[in-house]
Structure 1
């Protein structure tokens, strides 16, 4: 039977809360990862001397991710206590909680890119005129490679959050699907030839379908990978065009 905490003092309740955070940090590798990422983001905020408004936004999104991870841990512990055996409803509950963490992380990454990329690009690229000194093909290559790198990082983070599959094999989302549709989206931004765009996306669909045929991924994992690849790549191309 759980102890009655209604008569506990404020200090005791504060201790319970801190113990919960310590437990999550000690037992949950994803929470430790998010803590490390939060520390790096705050360090970057100090290095780049972001504005007060930007710092408030950074603190809010960092808190959002950490709070989502704490809720996810609490839900997993509760589900494990109620249903220690494998159960379809328990799996759905855990997946939804993990999905909330993923969504908060994607939003945090998007906001982080909007805040920090101008600080990274303006001094290093705009001032030196680096990208402007390149021809259009070289610029396209840089942006495409950067998009693929971001997509791959998000894939690895997503698989770590969901705890299924390996970084390069299986799990949520499909890495092959995400990369294939990322390349397709990049080509769609780089050419106006409808036939080429159609052929590239047909190839992306074939790559994604092969993951289903090999039973490496579920249909949902493939679809999420495709959407992730398209959205991230399109956002980066639009962002670079806006900055330059």
Structure 2
């Protein structure tokens, strides 16, 4: 179980996240939604200790998540990645095994097999020697998903993974998410996509600096909740 307790983040006098508490069970795909500036990315970064929280904590199996980062695979927003860095598809995926093998040690046979299987699963093994910068947006996102798979983490967090990707990539990703759920993984997906893809999630978390609602789609995506989250009517969604 992943437990977030009273998590708050402030920047001087600005409150970015206000007393967020929520619980997530293994084998769940969780969609995190809300407006720009609503605290979605801030929440996961505070959980991971990437930014300092004013109050609260995140616990995985009863222990601080910040002490178990080897159990977390984090794929940041595309805007935070240097796509011009000269690195191959294979080496990006191999980064998922760095914690196990060590930064300056040669990858083990097991690590190489894990990376090969991960790249095959996302349909990118044939591109393993290609430069990351020469791939399409959807292909790049699949490579970073392969890196997360190779890590074999208990918690996977993907920040806006569907931005700029094609339908094939989106379908592959949701298929893999279902497989990981069957392995009792917990998956967080931060997204802006308020469409029929919502049906893929077991649980939704609607944020606007605080928890507006958490639960199944029909419980969360009501007109009142959307109005509270977005400060305006959002008529494109039916509860």
Q: TM-score of the superposition, structure 2-length normalised?
A: 0.26
Q: TM-score of the superposition, structure 1-length normalised?
A: 0.26
Greater C-alpha Rg = 1
Higher relative contact order (CA 8 A, sep 6+): 2
Higher helix residue share: 1
Higher strand residue share: 2
